[in-house]
Amino acid sequence: MPRAAPPHWRELRLEIEEFNEAYAATLDAGRVDEWPSFFTEDAIYRITGRENADAGLPVGLVYCEGIGMLRDRALAIAKTTMFAPRYLLHLLGNARVLEESGDGSIAAQANYALYETLVDEKTILQQVGRYRDRFLRREGRLLLKERHCIYDSLIIDTALVYPV
Amino acid sequence: MPRAAPPHWRELRLEIEEFNEAYAATLDAGRVDEWPSFFTEDAIYRITGRENADAGLPVGLVYCEGIGMLRDRALAIAKTTMFAPRYLLHLLGNARVLEESGDGSIAAQANYALYETLVDEKTILQQVGRYRDRFLRREGRLLLKERHCIYDSLIIDTALVYPV
Amino acid sequence: MPRAAPPHWRELRLEIEEFNEAYAATLDAGRVDEWPSFFTEDAIYRITGRENADAGLPVGLVYCEGIGMLRDRALAIAKTTMFAPRYLLHLLGNARVLEESGDGSIAAQANYALYETLVDEKTILQQVGRYRDRFLRREGRLLLKERHCIYDSLIIDTALVYPV
């Protein structure tokens, strides 16, 4: 049921959408080395199946705590050659602002579909899910304090090393 | 061809998008009991194939007239156990405001893709289509006077009892 | 990494999204004769695979230069009967404004998924890609000076004569 939201949430929503599209474009372009720059120093990044997320289980496919772990992950992906070349494309729904906390953090959510194309193959839907996010503002810009990618189901991929 | 729209239609568009994302998040979370709260008392809700809709035929897959019928439907779904558990996810395009009528109703449209995931199965595209809507403002908030879901084609599902 | 964009880019982004949704709705409704009206007189329209686009190769699936070629193409499609009836539906991501040039042109980008449904068949994902656009303002309205559709991979279709 639509509730009355504070008026400044509309601008916040639009700003988050711009953040999300920049994030997606960076990953879609294969610039995984820039991926950590969307996060705060102490950020948490997770990918979890919906069944586990709904049950409150911490078990996930990917868990990174702190920008060091995000950078290690980005570096590992950038260097790896085991991994067949593929194109990714994110299609994002609009963002929903859910809450603003006393510490200035903003909870938000957005649906996504992630498409994957291996060379000379048909495009497949790799996963659909939603981002559950917590943003902080740093020097005027939004950064992710937490991004939790909760997928409904995914094609179990040889290597879901790439960030969502 | 893009035409010049009244300036306040931009805010209206954004408000409708927020309504649509709240509607989708409610259904995606499985809170079907809250679904009728998005409609006016005398609302009409329909799901129709595009071929019939284009031909002006009233024949549809689902037809509800009045909030009583929407509540009955929501209750039936909430109680049913025949129906295998599944996750739904809506991916929505942006809204287009098409018309404002003298009675204050607003005609709008938005494309959608609906993904369905049964436990331990791959996510499938259940249907793509567009919402053809008529909104009314009640106590400052938008409500649906009419939502007509027109799908291009759908995977005929054991039970399309769940609202789109 | 999200950068600080000029404040008026937000309104520009919203205006481009409205343009893109009107463009998609025109094609989805099968009104291909109206398609050229979204372009300037000297516009370029292209559809290219990502591999070629990334390599800077001009080779593409479709190349139209000037509104005459767009009109010829639209006319050919409208008249053709070789081509099985199908429904199209575009699902668009939000637009990103990338640059404003001294000549007033605006570079922008948006992701898309294009779904195709042949009569009595399942809906398929025809292609995912991104629009790389250059807009000009003419008599207060945006028009496409260039639309470059770059697809990740596509289902090679009997006849991709229809614009994306």
Residue among B25, B113, B121 whose CB faces A96 most closely:
B25
**pLDDT at B160 > cutoff 70:** no
Q: How confident is the model at residue B154 (pLDDT cuts 50, 70, 90)?
A: low
DSSP string for chain B: ---PPPTTHHHHHHHHHHHHHHHHHHHHTT-GGGGGGGEEEEEEEEEEEHHHHHTT----SEEEESHHHHHHHHHHHHH--SSPPEEEEEEEPPPEEEEE-TTS-EEEEEEEEEEEEETTS--EEEEEEEEEEEEEEETTEEEEEEEEEEEEEE---S-TTS--
Compute the mean pLDDT over every residue in chain B, rounded to the nearest whole number.
90
Lowest mean pLDDT segment, chosen from A72-86, B35-49, C52-66? A72-86
% of chain C at pLDDT higher than 70: 91
Report d(CA A43, CA A136) in Å as an integer. 10
Lowest mean pLDDT segment, chosen from A31-45, A78-92, B1-15, C83-97? A78-92
Residue among C2, C93, C154 whose CB faces A141 most closely:
C2
pLDDT of residue B144: 98
Q: How confident is the model at residue B152 (pLDDT cuts 50, 70, 90)?
A: very high
Q: Are A125 and C125 within 8 A, CB to CB?
A: yes
**pLDDT at C83 > cutoff 60:** no
pLDDT of residue C33: 93
pLDDT of residue B65: 96
The top-scoring range by mean pLDDT among A65-79, B87-101, C44-58, C70-84 is B87-101
Q: Are A154 and B28 within 8 A, CB to CB?
A: no
Mean of pLDDT values over A133-143: 96
Lowest mean pLDDT segment, chosen from A53-57, B19-23, C139-143? A53-57
pLDDT of residue A161: 63
Mean of pLDDT values over B97-109: 95
Length of chain A, in residues: 164
Report d(CA A149, CA A144) in Å as an integer. 12
What would the pLDDT profile of A12-52 be if each residue is shown by its tens digit? 999 999 999 999 999 999 999 999 999 999 999 999 999 88
Contact residues, chain C, for B114 at CB < 8 Å: none
Residue among A51, A111, A127 whose CB faces B91 most closely:
A111
**pLDDT at C85 > cutoff 80:** no
Q: Nearest-CA distance from A11 to chain C in Å?
A: 9
A113 and B CB contact within 8 Å: yes
Contact residues, chain C, for B152 at CB < 8 Å: 87, 89, 115, 117, 123
A2 and B CB contact within 8 Å: yes
Contact residues, chain B, for A21 at CB < 8 Å: none
pLDDT of residue A155: 67
**pLDDT at B21 > cutoff 60:** yes
**pLDDT at B2 > cutoff 60:** no
Compute the mean pLDDT over every residue in chain A, rounded to the nearest whole number.
90
pLDDT of residue C156: 60
What would the pLDDT profile of B105-145 be if each residue is shown by its tens digit? 999 999 999 999 987 788 999 999 999 999 999 999 999 99
